[in-house]
């Protein structure tokens, strides 16, 4: 197991290097200039842009810039934002809590919906409940987050005027008031992300449970007189969860991507919105850092999925 | 209007026969800005009465939180590094200039004790210097006193090329001298009629010497105060998250009594302009939303909705959406350069074609169907507050007249309806950036041109490429590899001096200056150059005004550019919020006087 992990981690190093080369090259070759806005501002003399470019080493060849970035990264220096004139790691750390909170709670909510609904649909297949659950699942994953997000804003903020649609990191008050405000403002973004996830997981859970419940050992369990509840929880659901757990782990990185849009709609100051604004401003160090974090997440969660799989299913061995 | 007429008119104002207001209206009719007109009077000894906003609160604080939504959030808080207006606005919460431009374009003192003029001896009669008297008992947020040293330091800091400040243009040609602890004198290299460029408005925010002194020059980016501003403003710094949030609290030792009204201030960023408008106008979650580049139709719907909680505020300024005519030939390469000023444009060298185009821009439709209140039709290049402009501008849409002009000049219609002369087909490429209102405007122009026998090919370029300074890209606006192009040019200061440089022949964009010259039309007019240089050193504001009027007329009469609409600033405010905005300065120029009506 230890050797397996080590090997996987070592394989990850060249892939991360490859990713960083591609990212850097694409960013360097793309049109646009972090100081372009200065150039189109007649009040700023052109020399200012030139001085800044020289100061941040933008005039050097791409290869040299990449090597400089890489060596700094290896020393734990994430770079310096051209646009905000501050360290990139500070910027990312400022944004991380909001993203983690929103994504984390949406995942928990999605699981809380998907597991019971999926299991119950599978236990009573083709019942009215199953049909309704199916209907909502299809609606859920056919609608993109930017659409459900706007729909929610229209309904809950504008017509009903219940919830705010601007997410604030600085809500005042403390204690219950704070929790209440936080709940109100995160309700919509969390729900938007959770519904999308819950929809597909419900379907997975349902088919997984259906599959397992037809197996012989389930019949055996029933035959030896175990109560149906026991059969369901101890024998069916536990085994049916194995593929679902892998799926959840594998989908985590994709979720960070999906959250970018949601963050933009609700003005959540997360990593996603940082990425968007940096792309618009051609702020290369920040784009590099954020996309690199995403790349690491993909690799990490892939590994996690494999490890979890083996842990849940002892028949799988690592070599 | 001749110089003598202007003098007579000013005399009439002096004697009280003509009101200031009428005078300003008349000047605007001549294509002059209201601020400029006011400065004419000021120079003639008629002190300008800066519009004093009514301020009702009788004590400082107690106003709760002021919540502002900026869909483009500030990314840095050093006013001398500000890349766009968003950064200046963020800095303006904490920093203040010596004086600000109010909505009428008059100077209002902020850190200055009074506005210098000829009468009080502040402005030297030879135009070589201006003396600022500073306000007494002003404190920085950290308790240190504000003195002349800070002003002198700010000038040196911004002028140092190694600092790479974006305000360097306003400071590199001046010398700032400390006369006494509360007086500074700004020396100019040559007679300068517009002396209020350094230490005023957008570019004039004063930074504390004791915070920034070790960080002047090459290590400017390391200053801790870049991220934690210490200013003299009405609010003290609390928190800054680039691109997301700027937070401040009431400055209890602010230098004006009973101000500021709000206990905390919050500037939230992100999202888009439409939802920002919604959050103020419809749901009332926020008190103020900035720079709403939203179709007027949507704004109207939000503003007039059943339970609307806010209003839209339109502030006049100097931004003009205009169509430029390429004076050079974009289709022939001369010395390895297209659109080189050395080759004349094959079609536009005929003045009839240029004049015909002016008649084919349907500004009324552009205003009515595209921009609404956010873009007003105009025939002038230098523009004014909207409530004055439309009355006096001369422009028309007349396909008949255009046809007649072209017929007379010998442009014959071919079998396909397109005119040609001497084997040259009247076919034009019209480019602009990708932006829905601009594409609609392009279509309107194309339609009218077709009726007059001019074939127009439309081209649109992504804004990030079009407005970039990328020397390798052929599609930038400064390269202008097309016959016509349309964009908005901004006049940030209430003086046309800098603004009108863009038609000076010495500013022609070319390969040699990496297309950074400001004269993109490549227009060359000896009379214009002469008038501009005369205006540059002209200390008599009356003569100077007459020169700028003449310059505006040359540009739109020739035409080198066809003005389409001028674009005022658009904000949304909650119904209770009382705030005076200005198109000649940051929207937060008067933040100290903002309050909520209860």
Give the burial string for B52-84 (b: 16+ CB within 10 Å, else e). Answer: eeebebeebbebeebbbbbbbbbbbbbbbbbbe
Task: Write the CA distances from B340 to A270, B337, B478, integer angstroms.
Answer: 48, 6, 12
Is the pLDDT at A38 greater than 80? The verdict is: no
Pairs across A and B, CB distance < 8 A: 150
The answer to whether B19 faces chain A, any CB pair under 8 Å, is: no
User: Does residue A158 or residue B483 have the better pLDDT?
Assistant: B483
Record: contact A36-B279, CB cut-off 8 A: no
Record: contact A35-B83, CB cut-off 8 A: yes
Pick from B534, B528, B523, B89: nearest CA to B349: B523
Per the DSSP assignment, residues forming a β-bridge with B508 are B519
Is the pLDDT at B303 greater than 50? The verdict is: yes
Average pLDDT over residues A202-219: 89
Is the pLDDT at A305 greater than 90? The verdict is: no
| Alpha carbon of B216: minimum distance to chain A alpha carbons (Å) | 15
Is the pLDDT at B139 greater than 60? The verdict is: yes
Closest residue to B245, CB basis, from A42, A46, A170: A170
Question: Could you tell me which chain B residue has the CA closest to the CA of A157?
Answer: B283
pLDDT bucket at B39, cuts 50 / 70 / 90: low
Taking only the tens place, the pLDDT of each residue in B204-221 is 999 999 999 999 888 888
Answer yes or no: is A176 within a domain: yes
Helices A2-29 and A62-74 pack at an angle, to 10 degrees, of: 140
Helices A238-266 and A284-312 pack at an angle, to 10 degrees, of: 160
**Percent above pLDDT 70 for chain B:** 90
CATH number at residue A219: 1.10.3720.10
Taking only the tens place, the pLDDT of each residue in B549-583 is 788 888 888 889 999 998 888 999 999 999 999 88
SS3 B433: strand
Answer yes or no: is A224 within a domain: yes
| Alpha carbon of B18: minimum distance to chain A alpha carbons (Å) | 37
Record: contact B270-A169, CB cut-off 8 A: no
Is the pLDDT at A217 greater than 80? The verdict is: yes
- pLDDT at position B52: 60
Is the pLDDT at B233 greater than 70? The verdict is: yes
Record: contact A169-B164, CB cut-off 8 A: no
| Alpha carbon of A246: minimum distance to chain B alpha carbons (Å) | 34
Mutate: best of A267, A274, A286, partner B, most B CBs <10 A = A267
Token code pair at residue A90: 């500070």
Host H or E run for residue B554 = helix B541-557
Answer yes or no: is A192 within a domain: yes
Q: Which residues of B touch A38 (CB under 8 A)?
A: 83, 166
Answer yes or no: is A9 within a domain: no
Query: For the whole model, what pTM was predicted?
Result: 0.84
- pLDDT at position A179: 87
Contacts of B245 (CB under 8 A, 6+ apart): A168, A169, A170, A269, B73, B239, B266, B267, B268, B269
Query: In which domain, by residue range, is A150 found?
Result: 95-312
Answer yes or no: is A11 within a domain: no
Dump strand ranges (E) for A30-138: none
State the DSSP code for B134. Answer: B
Closest residue to B161, CB basis, from A47, A80, A265: A47
pLDDT bucket at B335, cuts 50 / 70 / 90: confident
- pLDDT at position A259: 82
- What are the DSSP calls for B314-379, one per residue? EE----EEEEEEP-EETTS-BTTBSSEEEEE-TTTTSHHHHHHHHHT--HHHIIIIIIGGGSEE-S
Q: Which residues of A touch B467 (CB under 8 A)?
A: 36, 40
Closest residue to A33, CB basis, from B227, B470, B489: B470
Half-sphere exposure of B507 (CA within 13 A, CB side): 21
Number of folded domains in chain A?
A: 1
Host H or E run for residue A27 = helix A2-29
Token code pair at residue A199: 């929809």
Record: contact B245-A80, CB cut-off 8 A: no
Among the residues of B423-540, which ranges form H helices?
Answer: 436-451, 463-466, 496-499, 526-537
CA B574 to chain CA mean position, Å: 25
Average pLDDT over residues B119-138: 91
- pLDDT at position B573: 93
Record: contact B473-A31, CB cut-off 8 A: yes
Average pLDDT over residues A18-37: 83
Record: contact A267-B473, CB cut-off 8 A: no
Q: Which residues of A touch B65 (CB under 8 A)?
A: 172
Task: Write the CA distances from A116 to A123, A173, B73, B566, integer angstroms.
Answer: 10, 36, 43, 60
Average pLDDT over residues A210-225: 88
Q: Which of B121-135, B280-294, B374-388, B490-504 has the lowest mean pLDDT?
A: B374-388
Record: contact A281-B75, CB cut-off 8 A: yes
Q: Which residues of A touch B222 (CB under 8 A)?
A: none
Pick from B315, B403, B406: nearest CA to B352: B406
By the 10 Å C-beta count (0-12 exposed, 13-18 middle, 19+ buried), B222 is classed as exposed
Q: Write the ipTM.
A: 0.82
Is the pLDDT at A315 greater than 80? The verdict is: no
Record: contact A277-B241, CB cut-off 8 A: no
Average pLDDT over residues B320-333: 92
| Alpha carbon of A162: minimum distance to chain B alpha carbons (Å) | 10
Count H helices and E strands in chain B, helices first: 18, 25
Average pLDDT, chain B: 87
Vertex B102 angle, CA B96 and B103, to 5°: 140
- pLDDT at position B444: 94
SS3 B534: helix
Q: Are B389 and B28 in contact (CB under 8 A)?
A: yes
Answer whether the bond into residue B260 is a cis peptide, omega within 30°.
yes
Record: contact A44-B81, CB cut-off 8 A: no
Taking only the tens place, the pLDDT of each residue in B444-463 is 999 999 999 999 999 999 88
pLDDT bucket at B390, cuts 50 / 70 / 90: very low
Record: contact B498-A43, CB cut-off 8 A: yes
Answer whether the bond into residue B559 is a cis peptide, omega within 30°.
yes
Q: Which of A211-215, B103-107, B252-256 has the lowest mean pLDDT?
A: B103-107
Answer yes or no: is A246 within a domain: yes
Q: Which residues of B touch A40 (CB under 8 A)?
A: 467-469, 477
Per the DSSP assignment, residues forming a β-bridge with B239 are B247
Pick from B206, B89, B189, B192: nearest CA to B138: B206
pLDDT bucket at B236, cuts 50 / 70 / 90: very high
Q: Are A49 and A35 in contact (CB under 8 A)?
A: yes
Average pLDDT over residues A217-231: 87
- pLDDT at position B42: 60
Answer yes or no: is A35 within a domain: no
Token code pair at residue A273: 């919105």
Q: Which residues of A touch B270 (CB under 8 A)?
A: 264, 267-269, 273, 277
The answer to whether B76 faces chain A, any CB pair under 8 Å, is: yes
Task: Write the CA distances from B68 to A87, B265, B285, integer angstroms.
Answer: 26, 8, 10
The answer to whether B301 faces chain A, any CB pair under 8 Å, is: no
Pick from A55, A44, A38: nearest CA to B163: A55
Among the residues of B263-326, which ranges form H helices?
Answer: 273-281, 296-303
Record: contact B285-A165, CB cut-off 8 A: yes
Q: Are B339 and B481 in contact (CB under 8 A)?
A: yes
Record: contact A166-B268, CB cut-off 8 A: yes
Record: contact B168-A49, CB cut-off 8 A: no
- pLDDT at position B480: 93
- What are the DSSP calls for B225-269, one per residue? GGTS---SSSEEEEEEETTTEEEEEE-TT-SSTT----SEEEEEE
Answer yes or no: is A190 within a domain: yes
| Alpha carbon of B241: minimum distance to chain A alpha carbons (Å) | 7
Rg (CA), chain A: 24
Alpha-carbon gap, residue B212 to A94, rounded angstroms: 25
Record: contact A84-B76, CB cut-off 8 A: yes
- pLDDT at position B387: 33
């Amino acid at each position: 197991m230890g050797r397996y992990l080590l090997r996987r981690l070592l394989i990850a190093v060249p892939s991360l290097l490859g990713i960083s080369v591609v990212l850097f090259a694409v960013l360097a070759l793309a049109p646009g200039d972090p100081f372009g806005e200065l150039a189109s501002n007649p009040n700023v003399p052109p020399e200012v842009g030139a001085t800044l470019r020289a100061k941040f080493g933008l005039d050097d060849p791409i290869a040299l810039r990449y090597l400089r970035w890489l060596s700094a990264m290896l020393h734990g220096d994430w770079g310096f934002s051209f646009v905000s004139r501050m360290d990139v790691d500070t910027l990312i750390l400022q944004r991380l809590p909001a993203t983690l909170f929103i994504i984390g709670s949406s995942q928990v909510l999605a699981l809380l919906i998907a597991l019971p609904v999926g299991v119950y649909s599978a236990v009573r297949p083709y019942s009215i409940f199953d049909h309704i659950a199916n209907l909502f699942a299809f609606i859920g994953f056919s609608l993109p987050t930017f659409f459900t997000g706007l729909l929610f804003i229209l309904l809950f903020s504008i017509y009903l005027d219940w919830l705010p649609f601007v997410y604030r990191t600085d809500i005042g008050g403390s204690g219950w008031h704070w929790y209440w405000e936080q709940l109100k403002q995160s309700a919509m973004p969390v729900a938007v992300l959770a519904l999308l996830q819950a929809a597909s997981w419900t379907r997975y859970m349902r088919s997984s449970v259906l599959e397992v419940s037809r197996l012989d050992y389930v019949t055996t369990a029933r035959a030896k007189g175990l109560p149906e509840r026991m059969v369901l929880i101890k024998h069916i659901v536990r085994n049916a969860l194995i593929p679902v757990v892998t799926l959840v782990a594998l989908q985590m990185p994709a979720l960070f991507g999906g959250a970018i849009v949601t963050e933009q709609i609700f003005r959540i100051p997360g990593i996603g919105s940082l990425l968007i604004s940096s792309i618009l401003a051609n702020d290369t160090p920040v784009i590099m850092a954020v996309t690199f974090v995403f790349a690491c997440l993909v690799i990490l969660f892939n590994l996690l999925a494999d490890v979890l799989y083996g842990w849940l299913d002892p028949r799988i061995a690592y070599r | 209007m001749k110089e003598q007429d202007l003098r007579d008119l000013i005399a009439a104002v002096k004697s009280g026969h003509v009101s200031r207001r009428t005078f300003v209206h008349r000047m605007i009719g001549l294509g002059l800005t209201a601020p400029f007109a006011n400065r004419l009077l000021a120079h003639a000894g008629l002190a300008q009465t800066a519009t004093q906003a009514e301020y009702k609160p009788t004590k400082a604080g107690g106003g709760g939180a002021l919540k502002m939504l900026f869909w483009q959030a500030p990314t840095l808080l050093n006013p001398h590094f500000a890349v766009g207006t968003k950064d200046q606005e963020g800095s303006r919460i904490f920093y203040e200039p010596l004086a600000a431009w109010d909505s009428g374009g008059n100077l209002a003192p902020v850190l200055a004790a009074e506005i210098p003029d000829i009468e009080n001896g502040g402005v030297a009669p030879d135009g070589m210097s201006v003396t600022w008297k500073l306000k007494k008992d002003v404190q920085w947020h950290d308790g240190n006193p504000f003195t002349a040293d800070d002003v002198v330091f700010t000038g040196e800091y911004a002028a140092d090329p190694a600092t790479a400040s974006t305000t360097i243009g306003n400071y590199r040609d001046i010398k700032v001298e400390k006369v006494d602890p509360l007086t500074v004198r700004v020396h100019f290299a040559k007679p300068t009629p517009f002396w209020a460029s350094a230490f005023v408005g957008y570019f004039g925010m004063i930074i504390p010497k004791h915070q920034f002194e070790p960080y002047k020059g090459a290590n400017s980016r390391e200053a801790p105060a870049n991220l934690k501003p210490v200013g003299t403003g009405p609010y003290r710094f609390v928190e800054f998250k680039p691109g997301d949030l700027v937070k401040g609290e009431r400055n209890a030792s602010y230098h004006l009594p009973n101000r500021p009204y709000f206990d905390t201030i919050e500037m939230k960023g992100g999202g888009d302009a439409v939802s920002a408008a919604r959050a103020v106008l419809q749901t009332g979650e926020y008190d103020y939303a900035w720079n709403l580049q939203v179709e007027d139709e949507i704004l109207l719907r939000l503003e007039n909705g059943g339970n609307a909680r806010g209003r839209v505020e339109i502030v006049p300024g100097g931004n003009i959406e205009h169509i430029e005519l390429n004076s050079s030939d974009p289709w022939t390469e001369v010395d390895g350069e297209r659109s080189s000023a050395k080759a004349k444009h094959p079609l536009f060298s005929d003045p009839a074609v240029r004049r015909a185009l002016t008649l084919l821009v349907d500004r009324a439709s552009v205003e009515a169907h595209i921009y609404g209140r956010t873009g007003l039709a105009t025939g002038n290049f230098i523009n004014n507050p909207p409530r004055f402009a439309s009355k006096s501008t001369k422009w028309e849409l007349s396909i008949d007249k255009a046809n007649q002009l072209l017929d007379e000049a010998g442009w014959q219609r071919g079998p396909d309806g397109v005119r040609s002369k001497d084997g040259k087909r009247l076919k034009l490429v019209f480019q602009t950036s990708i932006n829905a209102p601009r594409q609609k405007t392009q279509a309107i122009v194309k339609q009218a041109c077709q009726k007059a026998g001019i074939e127009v090919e439309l081209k649109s370029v992504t804004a990030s490429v079009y407005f970039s300074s990328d020397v390798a890209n052929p599609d930038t606006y400064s390269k202008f590899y097309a016959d016509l192009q349309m964009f908005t040019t901004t006049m940030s200061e209430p003086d046309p001096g800098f603004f009108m440089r863009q038609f000076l022949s010495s500013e022609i964009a070319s390969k040699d200056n990496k297309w950074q010259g400001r004269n993109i039309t490549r227009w060359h007019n000896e009379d214009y150059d002469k008038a501009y240089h005369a205006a540059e050193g002209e200390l008599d504001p009356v003569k100077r005004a007459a020169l700028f009027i003449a310059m505006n007329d040359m540009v739109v009469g020739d035409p080198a550019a066809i003005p389409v609409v001028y674009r005022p600033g658009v904000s949304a405010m909650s119904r209770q919020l009382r705030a005076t905005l200005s198109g000649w300065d940051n929207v937060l120029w008067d933040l100290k006087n903002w309050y909520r009506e209860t």
